[in-house]
Amino acid sequence: MPSSLPRRRALASLGALAAASALLPAGTARAATPLRIGYQKSSTLITVLKARGSLDAALAPLGVSLSWHEFASGLPLLEALNLGNVDFSADVADTVPVFAQAAGADLTFVARETASPSAQAILVKADSPLRTLGDLKGKRVGFAKAAGAHYLLLAALESAGLRFADITPAYLAPADGRAAFERGAIDAWVVWDPFLAAAQRQAGARVLADGKGLASYQRYYLAATPFAKAHPDVLAVLVDELRRAGQWVKQSPKDAAALLAPVWGLDADTVEAANARRSYDVQLVKAGSLDEQQRIADAFLGEKLLPKRVDAQAVALFVPPRG
pLDDT tens per residue across span 103-146: 999 999 999 999 999 999 999 999 999 999 999 999 999 999 88
> Under 8 Å CB-to-CB from 203, ≥6 apart: which residues?
125, 178, 181, 182
pLDDT tens per residue across span 54-99: 999 999 999 999 999 999 888 899 999 999 999 999 999 999 999 9
- Name which residue leads in pLDDT, 113 or 8: 113
- What does the domain layout of the chain look like in residue ranges? 33-115+218-317, 117-210
Nearest one of 226, 264, 250, 266 to 113, comparing CA atoms: 250
- Please report the pLDDT score of residue 30 as a whole number: 56
158 burial (CB, 10 Å; 0-12 / 13-18 / 19+) is middle
- Please report the pLDDT score of residue 288 as a whole number: 85
Domains 33-115+218-317 and 117-210 share a fold: yes
Percent of the chain scoring above 70 in pLDDT: 90
Nearest one of 145, 155, 149 to 189, comparing CA atoms: 149
β-bridge mates for residue 112, sequence order: 220, 283
- Please report the pLDDT score of residue 323 as a whole number: 57
Please compute Rg for the chain using Cα positions: 24
Contact between 88 and 120 (Cβ < 8 Å): no
137: left (phi over 0), alpha (psi -120 to 50) or beta: beta
- Rounded Cα distance, 86 and 76, in Å: 11
Q: Which fold has domain 33-115+218-317?
A: D-Maltodextrin-Binding Protein; domain 2 (3.40.190)
- Rounded Cα distance, 182 and 188, in Å: 10
Distance of CA 181 to the CA centre of its chain: 24
- Please report the pLDDT score of residue 322 as a whole number: 81
Rounded to two decimals, what is the model's pTM? 0.85
Q: How confident is the model at residue 5 (pLDDT cuts 50, 70, 90)?
A: very low
| Domain 117-210: CATH superfamily, name plus number | Periplasmic binding protein-like II (3.40.190.10)
- Rounded Cα distance, 235 and 156, in Å: 36
- Please report the pLDDT score of residue 73 as a whole number: 82
- Please report the pLDDT score of residue 127 as a whole number: 96
- Rounded Cα distance, 207 and 211, in Å: 11
Report the half-sphere exposure of 184 (CA within 13 A, side-chain side).
Answer: 4
Residue range 181-209: mean pLDDT, rounded: 97
